[in-house]
């Protein structure tokens, strides 16, 4: 299958590292003009230089700004221009005992992981509907379905994101715009490495620490390893393409078989 995103503009929030960075590179390789987003212009410019040094044909632009803030989100949207593909990737996570999660943390997780995505959809969707084509992709998590006891607040926010996706898909019905969630399983990023070492002895070598983490804390995984960011990006590129025109309102799994369910 040929994934051709030429003449499309994509915005990937939180794309200066990890999954977001892999998604941005993959969409650009498929021909899209991709807006790289991060809070600091310096980090955005650095990632653009890095990605273009790997492939000079990548069409990348800077869209620096804090999308968790209404003014910052508007600035990012303006920098990106008319968005055809919106990937709400930005998210925070961390381990906290259930009874130690404060009101402030509950609010912060909701505002960063849910409200920032809803805000970006609100900014981009009207233009997509008017043009008769668009793709909205919200990066969710297996934690939306299998709530982890060590980060209930994170799971809650990703469950809410599934609801946001389904609701906006209904709003976009019949317009040529699709809205989907991608349920990512345990994925190998720098942030996840730090998280693993919160639960495993920091003196443990990485390969051993990863195995211990998966066996002890994610034993449901059929893959029995962390997923690589590129594997998430591959699914996002497909769903962002014309090939996925009949997939909308869905929660598509790239979870390594972690969720023990026949139907998501």
Active site amino acids: 154
81 DSSP 8-state letter? -
Instruction: Name every residue whose Cβ is closer than 8 Å to that of residue 229 and which is 6 or more positions away in sequence.
Output: 18, 19, 21, 22, 23, 187, 188, 189
Query: Closest by alpha carbon to 251, among 126, 146, 122, 174?
Result: 146
Torsion, Cα of 215, 219, 224, 229 (10° steps): -100
Residue 8 CA neighbour count, 13 Å, CB half:
27
Measure the CA angle with vertex 29, ends 25 and 34; round to 5°: 55
Report how far residue 13's alpha carbon sits from residue 263's, in angstroms, rounded to the nearest whole number: 28
Longest dimension (CA), the chain: 55
Report how far residue 101's alpha carbon sits from residue 116's, in angstroms, rounded to the nearest whole number: 21
Length of the chain: 264
Q: Strand, helix or coil at 183?
A: strand
CB atoms within 10 A of CB 118: 17
């Amino acid at each position: 299958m040929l994934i051709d995103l030429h003449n499309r503009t994509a915005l990937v929030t939180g794309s200066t590292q990890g999954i977001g960075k892999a998604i941005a590179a993959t969409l650009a390789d498929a021909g899209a003009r991709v807006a790289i987003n991060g809070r600091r212009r310096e980090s955005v410019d650095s990632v653009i230089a890095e990605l273009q040094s790997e492939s000079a044909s990548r069409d990348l632009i800077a869209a620096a700004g804090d999308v968790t803030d209404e003014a910052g989100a508007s600035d990012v949207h303006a920098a990106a221009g008319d968005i055809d593909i919106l990937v709400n990737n930005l998210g925070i996570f961390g381990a906290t005992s259930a009874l130690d999660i404060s009101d402030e943390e509950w609010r912060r997780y909701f505002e960063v992981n849910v409200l920032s995505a809803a805000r970006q959809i609100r900014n981009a969707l009207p233009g997509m509907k008017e043009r008769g084509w668009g793709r909205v992709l919200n990066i969710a998590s297996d934690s939306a379905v299998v709530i982890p006891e060590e980060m209930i607040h994170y799971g809650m926010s990703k469950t809410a994101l599934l609801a946001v996706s389904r609701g906006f898909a209904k709003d976009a019905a019949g317009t040529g715009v699709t809205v989907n969630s991608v349920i990512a399983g345990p994925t190998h990023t720098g942030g996840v490495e730090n998280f693993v070492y919160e639960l495993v002895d920091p003196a443990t070598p990485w390969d051993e620490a990863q195995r211990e983490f998966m066996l002890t804390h994610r034993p449901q995984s059929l893959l029995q390893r962390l997923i690589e960011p590129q594997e998430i990006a591959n699914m996002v590129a497909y769903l962002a393409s014309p090939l996925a025109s009949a997939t909308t309102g869905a929660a598509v799994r790239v979870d390594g078989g972690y969720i023990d369910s026949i139907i998501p």
